[in-house]
Amino acid sequence: MAEIQIKNVAKKFGAYQALHDINLTIADQEFMVLLGASGCGKTTLLRIICGLETATEGEVWIGGRRVDHLAPKDRGIAMVFQNYAVFPHLTVFENIGFGLRMQKLPDDEVRRRVERVASLMHIEMLLKRYSGELSGGQRQRVAVARALAMEPDVILMDEPLSNLDALLRMEMRAELKGVLAESKTTAVYVTHDQVEAMSMADRISVMHQGEIVQAASPIEVYRNPAAEFVASFIGNPPMNFLRAEAAGDGKWSVAGNVIDGPRYGKSPLQFAIRPEDMQPAGDGLEAKVKIVEPLGAHLLVTCEVNGTLFRAVLDSDMEVKRGDMLTLAPQTDRVRWFDPETTLAVA
């Protein structure tokens, strides 16, 4: 049992506040992805959980035990580093067995465990090699195997797939997820690749400028973004935004259309809709087509609505060309609303 609790954690580097009051609970055996743009504090948070960095404030609990004063080795964790950190002077075998040797396990136990995780990661034929003789993907597997060999309660991974090519990344994604589910390990996985996050996570924590903006299941994060940042960060292309003026009684005027919306005391609001949640129809938003990009399965159309950039994903059979006028009807149950002052979602 290893639930991770992060309570009011803040981190300052000198005067720079890298993390603000982070609160997060990661359930036992959960696969939690920390997702955010470069520099938002993902690595810093991971290193605080790991113990390589000390929080300026707050507490870290793992498995019901407060650990923020403990050394990394006493926290029941293992880590996969962003650039592998596979020791170059040791063979693959000794790399995977490094942590076990530090625990002074007997030789045959080390051998048994190393061979088990090596076969799990499909690197049993590489055990005698040095890291200089491995490809990036193989080194990656060694780094994961080294962490798994510890049989940790918690495994921390910092962008472990970022240096791989697209195909290998896709392969490793599925493999890693399977291996971790089988080993019943709680996983915290850092990435800035939203496809990776969506496909692997049980839950995603979206981070922005040192704060966790939303922590929810991938589909929830995608469908019901808690803030404008999440809406514009997740999804490719991201959500469209339009200014909405109150038209009384839960009605909002969006680019000349009157649309049902929330009853809300303030005006204006931001009207938001995903590009794939619109259909050409007789009645709707007037859009002037700027760019048409055929993507095979779909047609990505970039238009202008009321002077604002607006994207729609349409059926690839549609005949659209630059300069056309489209009328796009938003799917009403997919429309979301945000308060531009707080940037938070309005129910």
31 half-sphere exposure, CB direction, 13 A CA radius: 20
Tell me the number of residues near another protein by CB under 8 A. Answer: 27
Angle subtended at Cα 79 by Cα 75 and Cα 83, rounded to the nearest 5 degrees: 150
Pairing of strands 31-36, 203-208: parallel
Confirm or reject binding of residue 103 to another protein (CB under 8 A). yes
Task: Single out the residue of 71, 166, 325, 347 in contact with another protein (rule: CB under 8 A).
Answer: 71
Query: What is d(CA 80, CA 191) in angstroms, rounded to the nearest whole number?
Result: 12
- Cα(first)–Cα(last) distance of the chain, in Å? 36
Q: Could you tell me the strand order of the sheet in which 4-13 lies?
A: 16-26, 4-13, 57-62, 65-66
Q: Which is nearer to another protein, 77 or 123 (CB)?
A: 77
Name the segment binding ligand ATP (CB under 6 A); options: 41-49, 68-76, 135-143, 278-286.
41-49
Confirm or reject binding of residue 39 to another protein (CB under 8 A). no
Task: Single out the residue of 38, 89, 182, 347 in contact with ligand ATP (rule: CB under 6 A).
Answer: 38
Angle subtended at Cα 333 by Cα 329 and Cα 338, rounded to the nearest 5 degrees: 90
Task: Single out the residue of 18, 60, 62, 79 in contact with another protein (rule: CB under 8 A).
Answer: 79
Which SS3 state, helix, strand or coil, does residue 175 take? Answer: helix
Task: Single out the residue of 2, 26, 35, 40 in contact with ligand ATP (rule: CB under 6 A).
Answer: 40
Query: What is d(CA 201, CA 85) in angstroms, rounded to the nearest whole number?
Result: 24
Q: Among ligand ATP, another protein, Mg ion, none, what binds residue 87 when CB lies within 5 to 8 Å by partner kind?
A: another protein
Confirm or reject binding of residue 83 to another protein (CB under 8 A). yes
Sign of CA dihedral 224, 228, 234, 236: positive
Interaction pattern, residues 205-244, with another protein; x per rule: CB under 8 A: ----------------------------------------
Which residues neighbour 315 within 8 Å (Cβ) at sequence distance 6 or greater? Answer: 298, 299
Site for another protein in 149-178 (CB under 8 A): 150
Query: What is d(CA 218, CA 173) in angstroms, rounded to the nearest whole number?
Result: 16
Task: Single out the residue of 192, 203, 311, 336 in contact with ligand ATP (rule: CB under 6 A).
Answer: 192
Name the segment binding ligand ATP (CB under 6 A); options: 34-42, 93-101, 224-232, 328-336.
34-42
Task: Single out the residue of 4, 22, 24, 42 in contact with ligand ATP (rule: CB under 6 A).
Answer: 42
* Structure tokens that stand for 99 in this block: 């942590």
Minimum Å distance from CB 326 to Mg ion?
Answer: 41
Which SS3 state, helix, strand or coil, does residue 42 take? Answer: helix
Confirm or reject binding of residue 133 to another protein (CB under 8 A). yes
Q: Which is nearer to another protein, 98 or 337 (CB)?
A: 98
Contact 314, 298 (CB under 8 A): yes
Site for Mg ion in 31-90 (CB under 5 A): 43
Site residues, ligand ATP (CB under 6 A): 13, 16, 18, 36, 38-44, 192
